[in-house]
Amino acid sequence: MDPVATILIPTHDHGPTLRASVASALAQTCPVEVFIIGDGVPRETRSILAEFAQTGHPVRFFDHPKGPRNGEAYRHAALQEAQGRIVCYLSDDDLYFPDHVQVMSRLLEDADFAHALPVEVRLDGSLFVRTVDLELPVFQRELLRGHNRIPLSGGAHTLSAYRDLEQGWSTTPLGEFPDLYMWCKFLRHPGFRFKAAITPTFLGFPAQPRKHHTGEQRYQELQTWLDQLSDERAIARLGQRILAEKVRESTILEARLIDATRNGGALTAWQCTLKVYFPHPDGYHEAHSTSFSMDFQTWRTIMLDIPCPEREFQIRIDPADVQCLIELAKIEVVAPDSTVLWRLTESNAHTLQVNGTAISLSRGRLIRIISDGNDPQLQLPPMISPRGTETVRLAFRVRIDADVRTFIGLLGAYLRS
C-alpha cells in the first residue's frame, strides 16, 4: 500500500530518543514511510537504527557525514525519493499522537502547508500550548519577522507544493533557525494555502532545558509519554488538560484586555522567565542554566536535576526578569539516594542569600521577596554532595505577582534609601 506520508526525522547525536520518536511515527493510523536523515551520527545511533531495520518496518536511514549547520541539504536530497502524498517532520526527541499524519493529511486536502497545534512538555510535566494559525495574516507576518511558533514536528506540506518551491531545504544562514527558514519559503510563495489544526497531535520536548540530561534520561521521559499515547483514554485526558490550559490562557488574555481598557490601551505582561543556574567551576553562566516560562499569580512546582561537577556546590535561582513580588516555598535539594542535602525551614531560612535587584520582605517556610528591577537573585547555601554523585534533585514551589508594580517601586525606593 502506498504511504500517505513521508515522515522525515533529522538526527545528529540524540541517540536513544530515536527509539521513542520513531516508534511514535510507526504507530500512525495510516500507512507511512519514515526517512531518518543522519547528520554525522555516532556509532550508538547506527546501532539503534539497526534495530528498526531488523523489524521490517518502512524505515530508511540516510547516513551522511556531518554537514553544514543541521545538514538541511541532506533533507532535500532524501525528499527526491519520497513516495508520500504529503511530507511530515518529526524531531528525533519529540512524539506524534497516533492520528498526527491522518489529521495533517485531511488538512492538506485543501491546503499546501499545514501545521499542528504546538504543545510543549515542561520539565515538571506541565504543558505549554502555543497559539498560532497561519490562516491568519498576523501569524504569517510574525514568522516572516523571525518569530517562529511552529517547531519542526508541527510542520507538514504536500510533496507537490515542496517541488513547486524555488528552493527547498538548503543550508540555513548563520543566525537563523532551520525550520523557520524553511517555513518562510512556503509563506513567500504566491498562492499557497495554509491550514491549522485545532487539536493536539504531537508533543514537543525542547532540548535546551534538558541539555544536562543523559540520552537515557531523555529516552525514559519520552517513553513514559509514549505509553500514554498508546492508550485512548489517556489521550482523551491529555486533550482535556490541553483544553483547560487554553481556556485558562484565554481567560488571562481577556482579563488583560479588560485591564488595558482601564489603562489607556496598555497591555501588561502576564509571564516572565525564571532561571536556575547550575554550579560550575567557572561561576554562573547562561551556558550552565535552564529557563522556565512563569505565568503570573499561579503557584507552580519546579523540579529538575542539577549537575554537580564538584562535591561542594551552590545553586542560584533568578526567579523573574521583571519588577514583581516573588514567593517561594518547599525548597529542597535531594541526592539520588534520597538523602536530603538541604530543606527550607524556619530556622535555616536566614542562610539564603538575596542579591541583585531582590529585596527580602520575609523569611521562613515561605520566602517573600520583591524585585524593583529585572535581576532578582536567590542563592542557596553551600552544600556537599555524597561521593560519586553526579546530579542532585532541586525542587521548590514559586509564585510571581506583577500586579503590584507601583507598590514595589515605592517600597523598593524606601528600603534602599
C-alpha cell at position 276: 536556575
Which residues pair with residue 383 across a beta bridge?
313
Mean pLDDT of 57-67: 90
In angstroms, the CA 361 to CA 370 distance is: 7
Mean pLDDT along residues 241-248: 83
pLDDT at 164 over 70: yes
pTM score, whole prediction: 0.74
Helices and strands (DSSP H and E) totals, the chain: 10, 22
Rounded to an integer, the average pLDDT of 175-179 is 90
SS3 184: helix
Q: What are the Cα distances from residue 121, in Å, to 29, 169, 206?
A: 23, 28, 8
Q: What is the DSSP letter of 296?
A: B
Q: Is 289 strand, coil or helix?
A: strand
| Phi and psi torsions of 119, nearest 5° | -125, 120
The answer to whether the CB of 156 falls within 8 A of the CB of 89 is yes
Q: State the pLDDT at residue 412.
A: 59
**From CA 398, how far away is CA 396, in angstroms rounded?**
7
Q: What percent of the chain has pLDDT over 70?
A: 94
Q: Are 87 and 71 in contact (CB under 8 A)?
A: no
Q: What is the mean pLDDT of the chain?
A: 88
Rounded-to-integer distance, Cα 102 and Cα 31, Å: 9
Q: Would strands 202-203 and 119-121 be described as parallel, antiparallel, or unpaired?
A: unpaired
Least confident of 249-263, 297-311, 317-331, 369-383: 249-263
Question: pLDDT of 92-103, one tens digit each?
Answer: 999 999 999 999
CA–CA separation, 80 vs 180, rounded Å? 21
- Distance CA(106)–CA(156), nearest Å, equals 11
Q: Is residue 417 very low, low, confident or very high in pLDDT (cuts 50, 70, 90)?
A: low
Radius of gyration of the chain (CA): 24
